Amino acid sequence: MKPAIAVIELDVRDPEAFTKEFFPLAAKVFADAGATFLVRPSQPTAIDEVAPKRVALVQFESVEMAVATFASQAYRDARRVGDQYAGFRIFVLESSAS
């Protein structure tokens, strides 16, 4: 089974509330799933076109574990908070690392 990387694009409208109210909830959900942040939400540098406002990368044990985590009640509860402060675009890729 290969690890998976969740790419989370964020358009944060209220950085203070996002950091204080949502991020700890999401970080706990990911930690409980055994996932780790490769990149915490940060501003990317554009090479081509326009970069998203912020991006986070989270590594999971597998694509299935990532999908299950984002579908979990714990994440959905956290996301209800996060949706107040940011727009999200999330996708998961299988890593080429073993």
Q: What is the domain class of 4-94 according to CATH? A: alpha beta
pLDDT for 1: 84
Q: In the chain, where are the structural domains located?
A: 4-94
**pLDDT string in tens for the chain (98-residue length):** 899 999 999 999 999 999 999 999 999 999 999 999 999 999 999 999 888 899 999 999 999 999 999 999 999 999 999 999 999 999 999 988 76
SS3 for 41-85, per residue?
EECCCCCCCCCCCEEEEEEECCHHHHHHHHHCHHHHHHHHHHCCC
